[in-house]
Chains A and B, each alone.
Chain A
Amino acid sequence: MSRARLGLLLVLLVLLGAPAVSRAAGPLDQPGYAKAVTCAACHGASGNSRSEAVPILAGLPPAYFKKAIEDYASGKRLSAEMEPFAKQVKLLGVDEVAAFFAAQRREPTPVRPERAAVERGRAAAAQCASCHGPEGQGDAAKMVPALAGQPAAYIRNQLLLFKADKRSPGDEPLTKMKAILKPIPDATLADVAAYYSSLR
């Protein structure tokens, strides 16, 4: 390489590096990262909750996430803790936050349910599979959530709310499920929750 060409190359390299600070893409390039970051206090890093009763948000379909935020904000899903935060997320931009959590890899709950409860729940869960899938994987297109690996106490608490028609009352797509849950004893619902929580 001639001296002149080497010189030109050096000039080019300097120019290319001109913005004194440049860097490769990082998490802050995702629009939702900065906005979703405070949720981790309860919902865990990247929405992978470690708690028994707080749901995992990682991998939730955006439409499902957005409906949950709407329902918490309006009080259709009753939660003293989530109602204010749902309003905050709406003001902040629910689409970006939903997209962020949808893109995160879901890690199943680290809280292991009791084995006997899982076995009892397996039999009782047979009628849930037609909608939630044989592996509890859900059906995003039909707004049916994946239950596999969600914390057991969270699933159980939601089942009890559905059974008592306290979660999203009046929502037509939930009518059938609420009718199925009605005659099932609470203890059996806890077993079903343990079963789905154990699935990977």
Chain B
Amino acid sequence: MTRMTRRQFLRASGTGVGVLTVAGLEGCATSTGEINPKAGRRVVVVGGGWGGATAARYVRAADPSIEVVMLEPNKTFVSCPFSNLVLSGVRGLGSLTFGYGGLRDSGVKVRHAAATAIEPDTRRVRIGDGYLVYDRVIVAPGVDFLVEQVEGLAAAQDTVLHAWKAGPQTAELAKQLSAMPDGGAFVLTVPPIAYRCPPGPYERICQVAWYLKTNKPKSKLIVLDANQNIVSKAALFRAAWQAYPNIDYRASNKVVRVDPGAREVTTDFGDKVKYDVINLIPPQRAGAIAVQADLVGADKRWCEVDHVTYESAKHRNAHVIGDSTIGLPVPKSGTMANAMGKICANAVVNLLNGREATPVPPVNTCYSWVSDREVIAVVNAYKIENGKVVQVEQKLTPGQSTVYAQHAEGWAKSIWADVLGNGGVA
């Protein structure tokens, strides 16, 4: 007798899909056909970052009769905010790493698997050979990198690091920085907007410059910024950089090529810049699943959404939150993703209960560490006007201060707990 695959067996036995499921949702085993046929209403959340984890928790908080399945391949959550402090050695990556236990305690079914496709027409999320059926899906895939826009990068991704998703690359870049000989050149490239965390590269510049000033005083930091000027908190960063004469900031210098053999990058003007350590932050777009699911717009990069419900402009019953969205006058920040996660969760619960969503604008707070102890911040307030998010006001801190550092630490504690639930916080 010839051996049969599970799929062949299902087909031959005529039972079709929906019969074979594997040992519950919590496991990582692969399944064929429909995974855990849904009994009641189900929301599937794709991605367990700042937006997705928040949304998953808040759907359960607003209506525990709704089943919530969250798909996230990573077993732990590593905070991007504060991860620039790992490069300077001010913080360890462990202090930014949390479990998903708090979500499980909230009744979220966390499945450590990647969604491989979303099929809005049949309301299915595919996981390998199997699929989950949803009433509504919340897609929070974060960003992916347009690696092909930098020649030579695709083949060099093991050594040319972005460290723009906190995790192993963050630790590795910190190691490269610490191993760099004094007198070396650290080259940091800033991608053109839009990208995740507008002030992030400039905070990183502060942290690397502080580290070099403190530990390798003969070294320099060359910044190649694709943008015409500092994208966020420009005056505050300029003021902070007064303390770091080791920064060589070059605006309108877009990196188009990297040659790891020659340890050299090339800008769009043809200028070649040598490096000892490179931190190349590539141009970005919405996470791959959003592209696959046809949730991105004509630019093939970002997802347009309704400003009240975060439902996709392209597909019904699919909502998109966080960094992968476009069209709202908001930054791609952790606070923003968290706010969108909550507002979207409440909208989804209202819609699933046959009610209208309450129009609630998001909020933004971005703290940036400009040294080992001082912080600056930008705050954005919004309103909803004619169904669209409109900025009411943007305000910056008057300067850098340890008081704002205290606020930043407090913000982190509160928001990590808000994203992950109490049990998630170590």
Contact = CB atoms under 8 A, between A and B. Distances in A.
Interface of A: 19-23, 26-28, 33-35, 37-45, 49-54, 80-81, 83-85, 87-88, 91-92, 151, 153, 157
Contacts of A157: 403
B381 A84 contact: yes
Contacts, number: 133
Interface residues of B, number: 49
A80 B352 contact: no
A77 B363 CA distance: 20
B363 A92 contact: no
A105 B409 CA distance: 24
A83 to B, nearest CB: 6
Given A34-B343, A81-B379, A84-B381, 8 more contacts: A37-B343, A40-B418, A42-B414, A54-B407, A83-B379, A88-B361, A88-B392, A157-B403
B353 A92 contact: no
Contacts of A23: 63, 65, 353
* Nearest 8 interchain pairs by C-beta: A51-B410, A84-B381, A88-B381, A34-B358, A84-B393, A37-B342, A80-B397, A54-B410
Interface of A is mostly: helix
A41 B338 CA distance: 7
A88 B342 contact: no
Interface in B40-80: 41, 58, 61-63, 65
A31 to B, nearest CB: 9
B395 A44 contact: no
B417 A28 contact: no
Nearest to A81: B379
B229 interface: no
Nearest to A36: B360
Contacts of A28: 62-63, 346, 349-350, 355, 358
Contacts of A88: 361, 363, 381-383, 392
B410 A42 contact: yes
16 contacts: A19-B354, A21-B41, A21-B352, A35-B358, A38-B343, A42-B411, A42-B415, A44-B418, A49-B414, A52-B410, A54-B407, A80-B379, A81-B365, A84-B381, A84-B393, A88-B383
Interface in B394-413: 394-398, 403, 406-407, 409-411, 413
B232 interface: no
B83 interface: no
Contacts of B361: 88, 92
Given A23-B353, A37-B58, A80 B395 contact: yes
Given A26-B62, A81-B407, A84-B394, A21 B360 contact: no
B247 interface: no
A51 B409 contact: yes
B406 A35 contact: no
A38 B418 CA distance: 10
B362 interface: yes
B418 A45 contact: yes
A153 B406 contact: yes
A43 B417 CA distance: 11
Nearest to A83: B395
Contacts of B346: 28, 33-34, 37
B414 A85 contact: no
Interface in B212-254: none
A39 B413 CA distance: 14
A95 B398 CA distance: 30
B382 to A, nearest CB: 6
B393 to A, nearest CB: 4
A126 to B, nearest CB: 28
Contacts of B65: 23
A93 to B, nearest CB: 10
Contacts of B354: 19-21
Contacts of A27: 61-62
B279 interface: no
B410 A53 contact: yes
Which among B352, B355, B365, B395 has the greatest number of chain A C-beta atoms within 10 A? Answer: B395
A55 to B, nearest CB: 10
B376 to A, nearest CB: 10
